[in-house]
């Protein structure tokens, strides 16, 4: 029996879209945080405005993870 990788490419594309939307969700909101500053905050770098880091880690990341879990659960 041969192993089929038929769905590997579409799932890889969907995963990359999910990651992009995740980071985009973190950067957009009532306080607009630049995309590159969001990436710096996620990967442990220091960003120029400490309040942005507080907003990302304490408000937007839990909201984004909850949205991913709820969307997965509904599917």
Q: Which residue ranges make up each domain of the chain?
A: 8-74
CB 29 within 8 A of CB 37: no
The segments of the chain whose pLDDT lies below 70 read: 1-4
Q: What is the pTM of this model?
A: 0.78
Radius of gyration of the chain (CA): 16
Q: For residue 49, give the nearest of 39, 41, 59 by alpha carbon.
A: 41
How many Cβ atoms from other residues are within 10 Å of residue 74's Cβ? Answer: 6
C-alpha to C-alpha distance for 27 and 35, rounded to whole angstroms: 6
Per-residue confidence (pLDDT) for residue 66, from 0 to 100: 95
């Amino acid at each position: 029996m041969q192993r089929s990788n038929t769905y590997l490419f579409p799932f890889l594309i969907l995963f990359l879209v999910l990651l992009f939307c995740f980071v985009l969700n973190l950067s957009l909101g009532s306080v607009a945080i630049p995309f590159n500053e969001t990436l710096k905050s996620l990967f442990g770098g220091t960003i120029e405005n400490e309040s942005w880091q507080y907003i990302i880690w304490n408000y937007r990341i839990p909201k984004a993870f909850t949205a991913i879990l709820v969307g997965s659960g509904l599917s």
